[in-house]
Structure 1
């Protein structure tokens, strides 16, 4: 997609504080000297079998883009793609999971849009607010900064192993991964904005190396990772040794 966007004009406006230029987590648009809106959207197909947790995790993931910018999410719109054959009960559980996670975050789901799609997908468009100039972007990393992960790695490897039938849905490692994915990054965002950081990003689909690469490229910096210091969900390494997921290979390309 990055190669495609190179040939597409980028929107420019004096009020657009953060746009597409650095692959940041959200867009920031200034309304007044005191208020800017922060907007993002994210949706994906099921990564767990339980429909309620799928909905809850999808909303948690969408909200993370706003939190990583140091902003406060306020309102969301459902993005729902479901096949006509999917039962109303399952769809209801997905939407309930999303609603209850949004409620936990004090975010109002004000509506949304649904289309017929053979492969189910769900997520959220989110709008938040921040004071202009206080947004935390991915292009301001400084020499000497320490990299801090707020969650352990391994959820992608674990969920892929589950899809491939290598793990049972109720296994401890799956339940642990669900807990990690289902935990809001709100507290981490509050701590980040209270203490003050130079740069931040949300580590999701492109993994640690992919998102770190974007930050380093945008900041014109390099980084050193100490393997033994990286938090990893227990049991993940064994799964990698048994089978290397595609996401791991794409992660390697960022080296």
Structure 2
């Protein structure tokens, strides 16, 4: 009996060897199919190919038959779908003009903020100084030497916006083309009130003395009588002018002193 059992076991093992040799790993589903993962090329399959061992058909359009024991095998190839993620580009506002000093390479939209450098060269006047001759107080000014303005060439670098409006500026260089000539003036020394009053009194006394002397002087009377006898009026008037010529300036000076004295009082 034991020998019969041994022979049966040997026969079973003998018939199972070809099946084991042709088999490949993979659990079958309810339809008797599975996906090939290892040693697929040995059985005429591709890696990841879905196939059946019981002759059932598959819904896949890709099918192939092998020359081995899998005559009724139908394969199905699995596909993987990748999702494509679309990213929106970030909007950056700035200056997009490459010639501007604040050009932004990352800008995608203009915002009107471009700034430009501007260099300008122009001629400007140089004012002259006024020098006072002597140490006199300010009074009536007399210009001894006229002043003349000088000239200089100025280079200015500025920053402007898109509309040309100046944002900032600085002087880069200056070059003098013509030197200025200073003005030289002299002031008449002003008199004090006491000095002006003294001079006024002296002038008045002088006039009184001249008039008194003219009336008492015999020579003066003779000259006047002689002039009266002259019939030619022109000569008569000339003699009168010559006679009174030294009195007239005195009257004029007195009038000017009085006017100046009144002005001083009104200012106070």
Q: TM-score by structure 1 length?
A: 0.17
Q: Which has the higher contact order (CA 8 A, sep 6+)?
A: 1
Structure of greater Rg: 2
Larger strand proportion, structure 1 or 2?
Answer: 2
